Amino acid sequence: ATAVFTAAAAPAASAASAAPAVPVGAAAATSGNPILPGWYADPEAAVFGSTYWIFPTSSAPYAEQTGFDAFSSPDLVQWTRHRNVLTTDAIAWAREALWAPSVVERDGRYYFFFSANDIKSDQELGGIGVAVADRPEGPYRDLLGKPLIGTFHNGAQPIDQFVFEDDDGAWYMIYGGWKHANIVRLKDDFTGVLPLADGTLFKEITPAPEYVEGPLMFKRDGRYYFMWSEGGWGGPDYSVAYAIADAPTGPFKRIGRILQQDPAIA
């Protein structure tokens, strides 16, 4: 649940290798901001092959938030919209409020993780699901026919998932709302979770008391960087902070905020 975006991030090395040559003295082409028309939030940026992708949430009232569009670009300047790459028509258990996509590639197939139904208790059907397709633009189909994670663990609402592969080939997912974040290790086929090194299935790694939602993790120089949203999404205190740890399971030390409102701008 991050703010409506105005730019997409991509790994620096990939961006550099894919950037077109610009004659000396010529101005580089830019996309301008916002880079996409319409109301979108929660952008997931990825590079598949030589193409940049953005998978955002279609920001609408929950009853109307029933599908995902995707956007692709060869250069981060010109973008193509791919409409309805995944909708509730392909997910029998999802009725509304699809959001927070996380898309990864494994063995030539693409796996689209999503949140659905905004459940408030274990008695409701919903949570985190996963769909699969043969192309980044879909169409995606439900992989399990049920949520991958559909109940509360350690107080974390099953929403806002982020999936990543560690250097040793292990796949992890961090997720969680309601001020709690969990990490799970995923099975290689993404059909369930495996025990972590300490034997737990759902390990709480809430990085700081300020944590609210929207987790993301990446590894750099052997250390794990955990970013999240804090504050209230509808207010001026909504911001993004980060923490660092030596392992994906923590413990994490909060460093500070990296994105916050500037009242002089908006």
How would you classify residue 222: left for phi > 0, otherwise alpha for psi between -120 and 50, otherwise beta? left
Neighbours of 16 (CB within 10 A): 9
The amino acid at 244:
I
CA dihedral of residues 75, 77, 81, 86 (deg, nearest 10) = 60
Contact 28, 86 (CB under 8 A): no
What's residue 29's pLDDT?
Answer: 83
Please give the structure tokens belonging to residue 52: 């940049």
What's residue 1's pLDDT?
Answer: 43
Please give the structure tokens belonging to residue 118: 């905004």
Residue 265 burial by Cβ neighbours in a 10 Å radius (0-12, 13-18, 19+): exposed
What's residue 233's pLDDT?
Answer: 85
Q: Which residues of 68-87 are buried (b: 16+ CB within 10 A; e: fewer)?
A: bbbbbbeebeebeebebbbb
What's residue 130's pLDDT?
Answer: 98
What's residue 92's pLDDT?
Answer: 96
What's residue 118's pLDDT?
Answer: 96
Active-site residue numbers? 42, 213
What's residue 28's pLDDT?
Answer: 65
How would you classify residue 211: left for phi > 0, otherwise alpha for psi between -120 and 50, otherwise beta? beta
pLDDT tens, residue order, the chain (266 aa): 433 333 333 333 333 344 444 455 556 688 888 998 899 999 999 999 999 999 999 999 999 999 999 999 999 999 999 999 999 999 999 998 999 999 999 999 999 999 999 999 999 999 999 999 999 999 999 999 999 999 999 999 999 999 999 999 999 999 999 999 999 999 999 999 999 999 999 999 999 999 999 999 999 999 999 999 999 988 899 999 999 999 999 999 999 999 999 989 87
